[in-house]
Structure formats: C-alpha cells, structure tokens
Amino acid sequence: MHVLNDALRSSASRTKLEKIICGDMPPIYWRLRVEPAFSRALDFLVGEGFANWEVSNGKTSLKLTESGVVAANAIEGSEQVLDAERAFLGGPAKKLTEGFVQGLLTTGKQLL
C-alpha cells in the first residue's frame, strides 16, 4: 500500500513506477517514501468503519466494509474526482503483486 501511495503522490511518480512495472526502467530507480500521514489515514479509515484489518493466509490485509464499498462506489461514480489516480490504479497498478513489490524494495540490497 505504501508503494501505491508513494506512486499516487505525483504524475512523475506514477510514470516512473509504470515504467518499472513495464520493464522500461530498472527497479533501482524507485525510492520509496513512506508517508506517516498515510498510516494515520488508514487508522482513520478503520476508525470510521470504512475498513477492517484482517489476517488471510497468514498475511495482514485491509478489507473494505459495506460502508467502505458504498463510499468507494460514490467516488468511482463521481466525474473528475481522482481521475489520474483511478486511471493508474485501474491500469498499470493492477500488475503489482506482493512478489513484485518485495523485489522492488529489495533491489538495492541485491547490489551490495
């Protein structure tokens, strides 16, 4: 989630991650910025009842509640709201897997 959040911060970040996903740029060019406010936003999301933390297959995940799905659908149905972000999440970001992110985050260690 932090990789997606970082990519969604700017069009340049989205473009860079898209190039890395497509293999047009080596993963070493990605520099993850962990935004503390994002973690707080996730806490608010859970606190307001829009999502719940769950454990599935031994891994922690965040799942939207019924009200979270309603809110997400309202955003999805709104014109000109988060257009670039939705396009990225519906396109290149769909190729992100846990294995890809793990490889992305460990690329620098592989050079040592």
Tens of pLDDT along 20-76? 999 999 999 998 888 999 999 999 999 999 999 999 889 899 999 999 999 999 988
Asked if residue 82 belongs to a domain, the reply is: yes
We report the CATH number of the domain holding residue 24 as: 1.10.10
Whether residue 10 is predicted with pLDDT greater than 90 in this model: the reply is yes
- Number of neighbouring beta carbons within 10 Å of residue 82: 13
Asked if residue 92 belongs to a domain, the reply is: yes
User: Domains in the chain: how many in total?
Assistant: 1
* Range(s) of the domain holding residue 83: 2-101
What is this structure's pTM?
0.81
Contact between residue 51 and residue 65 where contact means Cβ atoms under 8 Å apart: yes
Burial of 95 (0-12, 13-18, 19+ CB in 10 A): exposed
